[in-house]
């Protein structure tokens, strides 16, 4: 689950990480009030207005702007809220902005060269360890830095059982070329950042830029946080931060129905029980010359209601030209699944306009095939894997 910048900063601050202060606003009036409050608290006269959407590169897309007085706060907030923000990380239509973060300006005037660093904490799956990735080249596209000047990116591997050792935090500060007060600040910063990552059960904390101010403070100016969905039950307060407006509506609906669903770009929808079989089925679709339109694991109970819901969700995707149902009847009997498919099909009337290939294997597979063949519906049945692949190929032609 991804968070907005302001939510990520809230979590960081709660672990003692210094962040650029800000207040969320939903309209221009609220933005002006927020700016006044920040001025009262921090003394800042200038503010940055930052679009809150789940996408990076907002600065490049015109979603981050500096306001030098309250009038500018009002007009900039008014122009950003409601806009469709297009950034290098969004689709061409962009993302609708519902709210902005009004933040204190931390790039003090007279700062000839504010130092911007890059820092992220993430899980390195290949090593089974956490990793801190950091660079002196902050504020810009880290992918570009990785491609053109990979030697400017440092890695600090952290054993999750031990945590970040003090010497490691000092090495980070040293490699970033810091000394004196800024060095100490960076040690504190990276230590608190790692703690926040660990305790919040996140899979990613990315801070770009980390700023060294002219008075040697180290602070997070941006925050991209991805929480591990499977650990959200331990963090009810974080779970409430979910912003459904930022997520794929079809995936949200599937989640509510208890289906494991990931939307993809292909033309063959698939409905499968079990994640492993779902992966194999996606391979099968590719071998048959198609591209999977989704990953869908209906789980152990493929009854008529669930099957119907799954069909409806798959059919919301206009790119779907065929649906392959591939279910192994182990605990659930194939004939019950077949009946579920027939019932769902009848229930949905004209909604199903694409060919359906059903492969049922396992307990009562033969009875299931008969049930489908005798239903009079436009459903192709198969028992063998290859048979199903051939039929997919056939209908795609
Ligand atoms: P992103 O473009 O989505 O990554 O959004 P960021 O939060 O990283 O902001 C983009 C850029 O805006 C940063 O790299 C900074 O250069 C700039 N910026 C952010 N905060 C301030 C600020 O307080 N003052 C000024 N002058 N610029 C800022
Ligand atoms: Mn950024």
The 10s digit of each residue's pLDDT in 190-214 is 999 999 999 999 999 999 999 999 8
What is the predicted pLDDT for the residue at 190? 98
What is the predicted pLDDT for the residue at 347? 86
The CATH superfamily holding the domain 21-105 is: ATP-grasp fold, A domain (3.30.1490.20)
Residue nearest to atom 14 of ligand 1 (CA): 139
Q: What dihedral do alpha carbons 392, 336, 343, 324 form, nearest 10°?
A: -10
Domain edges within the chain: 1-19+109-245, 21-105, 248-396
Question: Coil, strand, or helix at residue 378?
Answer: coil
**Active-site pick, 206, 238, 246, 345:** 206
| CATH class for the region spanning 248-396 | alpha beta
What is the predicted pLDDT for the residue at 261? 93
99: which DSSP letter? -
What is the predicted pLDDT for the residue at 345? 86
Asked whether the predicted pLDDT for residue 335 surpasses 70, the reply is yes
Q: Where are the alpha helices (DSSP H) in the chain?
A: 5-14, 28-42, 70-80, 142-148, 166-175, 180-199, 236-239, 249-256, 275-287, 304-315, 334-348, 365-373, 385-396
Q: How many residues does the chain have?
A: 397
CA of 191 to the centre of ligand 2 (A): 21
Stretch among 36-50, 79-93, 99-113 having the lowest mean pLDDT: 99-113
What is the predicted pLDDT for the residue at 87? 94
User: Closest ligand to 108 CA?
Assistant: 1
Q: pLDDT class for 117, splitting at 50, 70, 90?
A: very high
Pocket of ligand 1 (CB under 6 A): 48, 50, 56-59, 64, 66, 103, 105-107, 139, 208-209, 221-222
Percent of the chain with pLDDT over 70: 98
Cα(141)–Cα(134) distance, rounded to whole angstroms?
13
What is the predicted pLDDT for the residue at 241? 97
What is the predicted pLDDT for the residue at 332? 80
Q: Respond yes or no: is residue 118 known to be catalytic.
A: yes
**Active-site pick, 118, 194, 197, 345:** 118
Which ligand 1 atom sits nearest the alpha carbon of residue 20? Answer: 23
pLDDT digits 0-9 by tens, 55-82: 999 999 999 999 999 999 999 999 999 9
Which ligand 1 atom sits nearest the alpha carbon of residue 208? Answer: 8
pLDDT digits 0-9 by tens, 345-379: 888 877 888 999 999 999 999 999 999 999 888 88
| 99 vs 305, residue with greater confidence | 99
Asked whether the predicted pLDDT for residue 20 surpasses 90, the reply is yes
CA of 58 to the centre of ligand 2 (A): 8
Query: Both tokens of residue 63?
Result: 């979603």
pTM: 0.84
CA of 180 to the centre of ligand 2 (A): 26
pLDDT digits 0-9 by tens, 208-232: 999 999 889 999 999 999 999 999 9
**What is the arithmetic mean of pLDDT over 126-150?**
92
Question: Coil, strand, or helix at residue 244?
Answer: helix
CA of 59 to the centre of ligand 1 (A): 6
**What is the arithmetic mean of pLDDT over 380-385?**
84
pLDDT digits 0-9 by tens, 341-354: 888 888 887 788 89
Question: 41-45, 67-71, 253-257, 323-327: which has the highest mean pLDDT?
Answer: 67-71
Task: Give me the chain's average pLDDT, please.
Answer: 92
| 288 vs 159, residue with greater confidence | 159
Q: In a mutational test of the pocket of ligand 1, which residue from 56, 64, 142, 206 has the highest number of ligand atoms less than 8 Å from its CB?
A: 64
What is the predicted pLDDT for the residue at 299? 79
Q: Which of 293, 246, 243 is nearest to 271 (CA)?
A: 293
The CATH T-level fold of domain 1-19+109-245 is: D-amino Acid Aminotransferase; Chain A, domain 1 (3.30.470)
Residue 158 pairs in a beta bridge with: 130
Fold match, 21-105 / 248-396:
no
Which ligand 1 atom sits nearest the alpha carbon of residue 61? Answer: 2
Asked whether the predicted pLDDT for residue 181 surpasses 70, the reply is yes
Q: pLDDT class for 112, splitting at 50, 70, 90?
A: low
Q: Where are the alpha helices (DSSP H) in 214-300?
A: 236-239, 249-256, 275-287
CA of 48 to the centre of ligand 1 (A): 8
Q: pLDDT class for 109, splitting at 50, 70, 90?
A: low
What is the predicted pLDDT for the residue at 113? 59
């Amino acid at each position: 689950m991804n968070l907005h910048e302001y939510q990520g900063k809230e979590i960081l601050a709660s672990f003692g990480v210094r962040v650029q202060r800000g207040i969320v606003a939903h309209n221009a009036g609220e933005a002006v009030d927020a700016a006044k409050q920040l001025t009262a608290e921090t003394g800042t006269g200038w503010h940055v207005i930052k679009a809150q959407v789940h996408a990076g590169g907002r600065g490049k897309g015109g979603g981050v702007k500096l306001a030098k007085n309250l009038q500018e706060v009002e007009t900039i907030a008014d122009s950003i809220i409601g806009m469709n923000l297009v950034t290098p990380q969004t689709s061409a239509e962009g993302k609708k902005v519902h709210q902005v973060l009004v933040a204190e300006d931390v790039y003090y005037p007279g700062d000839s060269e504010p130092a911007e660093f890059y820092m992220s904490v993430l899980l390195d799956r290949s090593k089974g360890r956490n990793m801190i990735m950091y660079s002196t080249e902050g504020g810009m596209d880290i992918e570009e830095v990785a491609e053109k000047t990979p030697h400017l990116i440092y890695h600090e591997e952290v054993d999750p059982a031990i945590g970040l050792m003090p010497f490691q935090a000092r090495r980070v500060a040293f490699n970033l070329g810091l000394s004196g007060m800024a060095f100490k600040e960076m040690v504190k910063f990276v230590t608190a950042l790692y703690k926040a990552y660990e305790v919040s059960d996140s899979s990613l904390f990315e801070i770009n830029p980390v700023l060294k101010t002219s008075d040697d403070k180290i602070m997070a100016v941006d925050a991209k946080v991805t929480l591990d969905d499977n650990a959200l039950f331990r963090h009810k307060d974080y779970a409430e931060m979910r912003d459904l407006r930022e997520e794929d509506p079809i995936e949200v609906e599937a989640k509510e129905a208890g289906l494991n669903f990931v939307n993809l770009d292909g033309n063959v929808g698939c409905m499968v029980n079990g994640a492993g079989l779902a992966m194999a089925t996606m391979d099968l679709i590719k071998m048959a010359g198609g591209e999977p339109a989704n990953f869908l694991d209906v789980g152990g109970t493929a009854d008529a209601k669930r099957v119907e819901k799954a069909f409806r969700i798959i059919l919301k995707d206009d790119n779907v030209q065929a649906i392959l149902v591939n279910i192994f009847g182990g605990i659930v009997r194939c004939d019950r699944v077949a009946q579920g498919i027939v019932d769902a099909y009848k229930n949905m009337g004209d909604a199903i306009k694409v060919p359906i290939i059903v492969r049922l294997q396992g307990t009562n597979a033969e009875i299931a095939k008969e049930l489908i063949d005798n239903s009079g519906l436009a459903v192709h049945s198969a028992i063998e894997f290859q048979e199903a692949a051939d039929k997919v190929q056939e209908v795609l032609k």
